[in-house]
Amino acid sequence: MFENKDKTHIEQLGEFGLIEHLTKQIKIVQKSTVKGVGDDAAVLDFTNKQVLVSTDLLLENIHFDLRYVPLKHLGYKAVQVNLSDIYAMNGIASQITVSIGISSKFPIEAVEEIYQGILLACDNFQVDLVGGDTTSSLQGLVISITAIGHVDKNKVVYRSGAKSGDLICVSGDLGGAYVGLQLLEREKQIFLENPEIQPDLEGKDYILERQLKPEARKDIVVLLDSLEVKPTSMIDISDGLASELLHICKASEVGCRIYEDKIPIDPMTYHTAVDFSLDPTVCALSGGEDYEILFTINQKDYDKVKNDLDISVIGHIVDKNEGAAMISKSGIQHAITAQGWNHFNK
């Protein structure tokens, strides 16, 4: 993709030369992209569609640690974080913009690696990169991505539509990204104490990929549309199941009941959590970064989704005055509290 093999200082190209160098590989695939990179602004045409826009900011040593996060994976993940928000509105992502703040320690080849991941994500999810910015940074690497998407006016789904009696569903499995992070952090500490020791990551590919290379759930949006199921509410799971459930309950002015034995947890996540003396359920409730979709559906749609192995029904919506709670495997009711990752407490 990029041909440079030796380290090249960014000042050799300058800002505009760097932008031209990084964006020359871009291919436009969306009909809604009238004009992409190369002018003062992108031009998009979403005739008869609701336009969706979402932005996330990733900061070195706050959201990622370059001691164990490969740059290509970082670029890929940065895109997924944003696409996930579009899919959580029942929409389809179609364009992104990318802005990067780079410190002097990064040669051009390092920035190319980030862009390799970004462009791979664009290719895999059929998204156009249509603009952005680059600047210098004194605080380490900064990546800001804005995702743009669309949805038919009658298909957009908010957090605020859940009703008492609706079923609570989740895609995929939960907790894997958090447990993968714990594994990486353990190996980092071992390395810092003894750089001669090789990391022990064998057989843990699944949870490592959940952390380093998550996949936003566009397929769930497509699946639900094919099943003719319009969720009553939706949100992506970025900060943990508990936090996202409470967001839906607050926005919809309802309560909820979920069942611990219904929460989908992969065996590798479960056993690795136990090895770390962590409660797998707590990892699923509060770990975050799974980027699965949490949604509610009318009970009449249950038969349409009940046989799909990638969708789990984990509970139901109740009246607001009943509160938000989880029924444990032993039948005890526990109030759900938001203990997801807080960016400002790191």
Residues belonging to the binding site for ATP are 115, 132-133, 159, 238
Task: Give the integer Cα–Cα distance in Å for 244 and 157.
Answer: 15
Asked if 213 and 279 touch (Cβ cutoff 8 Å), the reply is: no
- Residue 25's closest CA among 117, 103, 102? 117
Asked if 72 and 113 touch (Cβ cutoff 8 Å), the reply is: yes
Asked if 340 and 239 touch (Cβ cutoff 8 Å), the reply is: yes
Per-residue CA distances from 203 to 178, 200, 207 (Å): 17, 9, 9
Per-residue CA distances from 141 to 5, 22, 59 (Å): 22, 16, 6
Q: Which residue intervals of 202-262 are DSSP H helices?
A: 205-212, 218-226, 241-252
- The gap from C-alpha 268 to its chain's centroid, in whole angstroms, comes to 20
Helices (H) and strands (E) in the chain, counts: 10, 13
Q: Is 100 helix (H, G, I), strand (E, B) or coil?
A: strand
Known binding-site residues for Mg(2+) equal 40, 54-56, 85, 133, 236, 239
Element (H, E) at 176: helix 176-193
Asked if 23 and 119 touch (Cβ cutoff 8 Å), the reply is: no
Known binding-site residues for substrate equal 63, 289, 341
State whether the Cα torsion 306-150-21-17 is positive or negative.
Answer: negative
Task: Give the integer Cα–Cα distance in Å for 326 and 335.
Answer: 6
Nearby residues of 253 by Cβ (< 8 Å), 6 or more positions away: 320
Known binding-site residues equal 40, 54-56, 63, 85, 115, 132-133, 159, 236, 238-239, 289, 341
